[in-house]
A = this chain, B = another copy of it.
Amino acid sequence: MVSIARTIRIQDVAKRANVSVATITRVVNGSGYVSARTRQVVQQAIDDLGYVPNRMASALKGKSTGVIGTINPSLDINPYFVQLSAALDRSVREYGFRILSMVVNREQSDEVGLIHELVSRMVDAIFFIGSTAVPEALIQSIVDRGIPVVMLERPLDIRDVDRVTVNAWEGSAMAAQKFLAFGHTNIGYVGVRLRHQVEEDRYEGFRQTLLRNGVPLEARNTVLVEEYELTHGYNAMRQLLGQNGRPTAVFLSSDILAAGALQCLYDAHLRVPDDVSLIGYDDTMASTMSPPISSVALPIQEMAATTVDLFLERKREGRKAGKVVRIEPHLVDRDTVKDLRATVERT
C-alpha cells in the first residue's frame, strides 16, 4: 500500500515516544537535558516514522536557513566562474551551508527582484561574484537589513562591506617577466576592452613591467577585443600574425582567448613554443589545450575559502567594519615560452 503523503510532524513523534514536543527538539538539536533512556526512545520513534524536521518552520522561528545567496554572471560565459562557483560551493558546505545562485545576465535581469528574493528566502549572507551590474544603493540596503555581504573580485568599494580581490596587476607582470627573462622583445598583448578595474590592471601590469625593462608595448602588438570569447582570441592572433615581424611571444588575458589563439596557430601550422610563445591567464583551460600552455593561475579555492572566512568571522565576532583581502596569483609554467637567449649565462 502506498502511504499517502502526510508530512510527519514533531507532534507525531512526540505522541509515538510518549513525551512532549519539547523533548523531541532537544534530542534533534542536542540542546538542553535529556536522559539517555528518553533520548533512545525518541530516536527510535524518529527512525520508525522517518521524521525529518521542517526547516521552514525552524527558520521562521528564528534559526538560520543555512543558505547563502550568490549573485554571479552566467556560468557559460567563462569557465573561470564555473570553477569559482564550484569552489565556493565546496567551501560553504564545509560549514553546513548551501548556495542559492542568482544569475545576472549582462543584458537584462531585474537585480532588485533577485536581491528581494534572497531576502524573502532569509539567506544568511549574500556573496557578489565578478563584475555584475548591481547598483551600490541596492547593496547598501542589504547591509542595512543586517545581511552580511562579501564581494569577490568586484571593483565596488562600499562602506562596511568585506571584499576579496585579486592582484591582477601582479599576475600580468609575472607573464611579462617570464617573456623578458627568456629574451623576448617583440611581445603581443591580447585583452578585453578596459571596462572594469580588472581589465585595466591586467593590461597595466603587463605594459608597465615591459616598459620598466626597456621594452615598450607597441600599439600594433596590442589587441583589445570586446568579450572573453574564443573567436575573438582567434581573430586577435590572426591579426598579430598578419603583420611582418610578428611577435615572438603573446600574452592573452584569459585562457578562453588563448584557446582561440591556439586554434589560429594550428591553422597556420605554427607550433608552441617553437614558433610562438604563449602565456594565458586564469589557468582554467590551459591544462586541457594542445599543447597545455603556461597560464597565470588564481588560487580559486583559496579565494572561496577566504570569502567564507570573512563571512563567518563577521558573524562570529560581530565585526562591523569592512575588511579587504588581496589574493596573489602565480604562474603555472608549462614550458610554452621559448628561450631566445643566445648563450645561457651562469649566474
Q: Which of A34-42, A52-60, A178-186 contacts B (4 or more CB under 8 A)?
A: A52-60
Partner of A60, one of B54, B119, B141: B54
A106 within 8 A of B: no
Q: How far is the CA of A18 from the CA of B99 in the complex (A)?
A: 38
Report A119 CB to chain B, min CB distance, Å: 5
A65 and B56 contacting across the interface, CB-CB below 8 Å: yes
Question: In the complex, which residues of chain B have a beta carbon less than 8 angstroms from the beta carbon of A145?
Answer: 5, 7
Question: In the complex, which residues of chain B have a beta carbon less than 8 angstroms from the beta carbon of A265?
Answer: 290
Partner of A230, one of B3, B5, B56, B287: B287
A56 and B122 contacting across the interface, CB-CB below 8 Å: yes
Q: How far is the CA of A313 from the CA of B57 in the complex (A)?
A: 29
CB-nearest residue of chain B to A96: B117
A86 within 8 A of B: yes
Question: In the complex, which residues of chain B have a beta carbon less than 8 angstroms from the beta carbon of A256?
Answer: 288
Question: In the complex, which residues of chain B have a beta carbon less than 8 angstroms from the beta carbon of A3?
Answer: 144
Total copies of the chain: 2
> Considering residues A93, A117, A121, which has the most beta carbons from chain B within 10 angstroms of its beta carbon?
A121
Contact with B along A92-107 (1 / 0, CB 8 A): 0100001111010000
Q: How far is the CA of A99 from the CA of B263 in the complex (A)?
A: 36
CB-nearest residue of chain B to A103: B89
Contact with B along A49-80 (1 / 0, CB 8 A): 01011111101100001000000001110010
A116 within 8 A of B: yes
B290 and A262 contacting across the interface, CB-CB below 8 Å: yes
B65 and A76 contacting across the interface, CB-CB below 8 Å: no
CB-nearest residue of chain B to A76: B86
Interface residue tally on A, bucketed by range: 35 or more
Partner of A120, one of B54, B288, B291: B54
Contact with B along A249-278 (1 / 0, CB 8 A): 000000010011011011100000000000
B86 and A121 contacting across the interface, CB-CB below 8 Å: no
B288 and A290 contacting across the interface, CB-CB below 8 Å: no
Contact with B along A131-162 (1 / 0, CB 8 A): 00000000001001111000000000000000
Partner of A288, one of B74, B101, B116, B259: B259
A344 within 8 A of B: no
Partner of A82, one of B50, B75, B285: B75
Question: In the complex, which residues of chain B have a beta carbon less than 8 angstroms from the beta carbon of A287?
Answer: 230
Known: A3-B144, A52-B120, A120-B54. A263 touches B285 (CB 8 A): no
A292 within 8 A of B: yes
A213 within 8 A of B: no
Question: In the complex, which residues of chain B have a beta carbon less than 8 angstroms from the beta carbon of A100?
Answer: 98, 100
A83 within 8 A of B: yes
A-B contact pairs, 25 of them (CB 8 A): A3-B144, A4-B146, A5-B146, A7-B145, A52-B116, A52-B120, A55-B120, A56-B56, A56-B59, A56-B65, A56-B121, A56-B122, A57-B60, A75-B82, A89-B101, A93-B103, A99-B101, A100-B100, A259-B289, A260-B288, A263-B290, A266-B291, A289-B289, A289-B290, A290-B290
Given contacts A2-B144, A5-B146, 12 further A-B contacts (CB under 8 A): A7-B145, A50-B141, A52-B116, A52-B120, A55-B117, A55-B120, A56-B56, A56-B122, A75-B85, A100-B100, A263-B290, A289-B289
